[in-house]
Amino acid sequence: MITIEKQPVKPEFTFKMFEILGGLWLTGCVKTAAELNIADLLASGPMTISKLAEETQSHEIQLYRVMRALSGAGIFEESENRTFALNDFGAALQTNVPGTAKNFVLTIMNEHFPGYGDLTYAVQTGKIPFEHIHGKDLWGFYKEYPEIGENFGKGMTGMSGMELKGIIENYDFKPYHKIVDIGGGNGVMIHTILNNTPDSFGIIFDEANVIEKTVKMIPENLKERCSVAIGSFFDRVPEGADLYTMKWIIHDWSDDECVQILKNCYNAMPKGAKLLIIDAVIPDDSLNKPHMAKLLDIVMLACLTGKERTLSEFKMIIERAGLQFNRLVHIGTEAKSIIECEKL
Ligand SMILES: C[S@@+](CC[C@H](N)C(=O)[O-])C[C@H]1O[C@@H](n2cnc3c(N)ncnc32)[C@H](O)[C@@H]1O
């Protein structure tokens, strides 16, 4: 018989566990604020809780409890007479503003959410909780439910707000004439790049269900220099560009799938063309330290075949596809870095 020596539990660590669960409860409140468009309502000025309840057709006392929890965490601000105001943190939940987190919150808290309660399934079977729960893979799910897919696309566009400035400030796109953004979604990154490189042309490449929205979102001033292309990066990608970008693509896929995508890039690239993988990188020296990439990896574990990688893991798939790793460029956020590769 095995005798297990149990360690005493220190109360402060029981409390730390309680605090971690608090993150979940708070996220539930963030979801409600997003669903009820609280940030949009407060954008026109502070509101009493009774007015907010009337506007959202809610139960005043219950809504107050949610708003109190949120303002306690710095999201919105409560003044003495149960009046709430928008602040910078709460403003990140507004609808249809650049950089909004609202749609991504709804993605994580709706279709992704049950997967986070089913991680043991992933761990014990090596399979994907999202598929266990929904009966199909994530991309197939978004094709079957276009409205949910559209919200996911807006979520990606909004979250790009975290890094676009860092990408533009830390990488010189001016030398490139033709730029293809592979899996470019609604195109916000290519729009930003083109607005900073007056002589470049851009192509947003993605699947048909996404591109039908993307094409309508090309800003008037870029219509001459920005176009779209439809296809799967498992078949081919547009040929002949001098720069290819892939933001939040490689982390969605297993090593073998990534090598297939990267080989298709290799085949489309002229000699000397560059490819930028823009993804989170788990630092080698982060043992026992928190890092956003380690948490984002749990999204991959719950929903996709992919994973977050260390730089050596990226180098391995890059080399397997025949490309050369050039350099790692930090852009000022843990959520992303630029890995520059080249076809020699
Ligand atoms: C995580 S999103 C990233 C979108 C965008 N690059 C960004 O950073 O906001 C992944 C993108 O890959 C696209 N995608 C998925 N499978 C694809 C495929 N087989 N071929 C082309 N694009 C694909 C999705 O439609 C989606 O736009």
| Assigned token pair, 248 | 């939040």
Domains 11-91 and 158-342 share a fold: no
Question: 221: burial class by Cβ within 10 Å (0-12, 13-18, 19+)?
Answer: exposed
Atom of ligand 1 nearest to the CA of 278: 8
Q: What is the mean pLDDT of residues 318-331?
A: 98
Q: Which pLDDT tens digit goes with each residue over 240-255?
A: 999 999 999 999 999 9
Q: Kindly give the distance from the C-alpha atom of residue 329 to the centroid of ligand 1, in angstroms, as a whole number.
A: 22
Q: Whose CA is nearest to atom 1 of ligand 1?
A: 248
Check pocket membership of 196 for ligand 1, CB cut-off 6 A: no
Q: Which residues, other chains included, contact 21 with Cβ-Cβ below 8 Å and sequence gap of 6+?
A: none
Q: Kindly give the distance from the C-alpha atom of residue 247 to the centroid of ligand 1, in angstroms, as a whole number.
A: 8
**Is the distance from CB of 296 to CB of 308 less than 8 angstroms?**
yes
Q: Kindly give the distance from the C-alpha atom of residue 312 to the centroid of ligand 1, in angstroms, as a whole number.
A: 24
- For residue 106, the model assigns a pLDDT of 98
Q: What is the mean pLDDT of residues 89-109?
A: 98
Residue 186, SS3?
coil
Q: Whose CA is nearest to atom 13 of ligand 1?
A: 183
Atom of ligand 1 nearest to the CA of 210: 25
- For residue 231, the model assigns a pLDDT of 98
Q: Which pLDDT tens digit goes with each residue over 26-42?
A: 999 999 999 999 999 99
Report how far residue 236's alpha carbon sits from residue 255's, in angstroms, rounded to the nearest whole number.
Answer: 18
Residue 172 has pLDDT above 80, yes or no: yes
Report how far residue 285's alpha carbon sits from residue 305's, in angstroms, rounded to the nearest whole number.
Answer: 25
Check pocket membership of 210 for ligand 1, CB cut-off 6 A: yes
Q: Whose CA is nearest to atom 18 of ligand 1?
A: 232
Residue 45, SS3?
coil
| Assigned token pair, 148 | 């949910």
CATH number of the 158-342 domain: 3.40.50.150
Q: Kindly give the distance from the C-alpha atom of residue 30 to the centroid of ligand 1, in angstroms, as a whole number.
A: 26
Q: What is the mean pLDDT of residues 130-146?
A: 98
Q: Which pLDDT tens digit goes with each residue over 202-256?
A: 999 999 999 999 999 999 999 999 999 999 999 999 999 999 999 999 999 999 9
**Is the distance from CB of 193 to CB of 168 less than 8 angstroms?**
yes
CATH of 11-91, one of 1.10.10.10, 2.60.40.3950, 3.40.1110.10, 2.40.40.20: 1.10.10.10
Check pocket membership of 233 for ligand 1, CB cut-off 6 A: yes
- For 339, the enclosing helix (H) or strand (E) is strand 336-342
Q: Where are the domains of the chain?
A: 11-91, 102-155, 158-342
Report how far residue 176's alpha carbon sits from residue 68's, in angstroms, rounded to the nearest whole number.
Answer: 50
Q: What is the mean pLDDT of the chain?
A: 97
Atom of ligand 1 nearest to the CA of 209: 25
Model confidence band, residue 4 (pLDDT cutoffs 50, 70, 90): confident
ipTM of the modeled complex: 0.99
Q: Kindly give the distance from the C-alpha atom of residue 183 to the centroid of ligand 1, in angstroms, as a whole number.
A: 4
Report how far residue 49's alpha carbon sits from residue 61's, in angstroms, rounded to the nearest whole number.
Answer: 8
Report how far residue 61's alpha carbon sits from residue 50's, in angstroms, rounded to the nearest whole number.
Answer: 9
- For residue 62, the model assigns a pLDDT of 98
- For residue 1, the model assigns a pLDDT of 75
| Ligand 1 probe mutation, 130, 139, 264, 265, most atoms within 8 A of CB | 139
Percent pLDDT > 90 in the chain is 98
Residue 262 has pLDDT above 90, yes or no: yes
Q: Whose CA is nearest to atom 12 of ligand 1?
A: 183
| Ligand 1 probe mutation, 233, 234, 237, 277, most atoms within 8 A of CB | 233
- For residue 3, the model assigns a pLDDT of 85
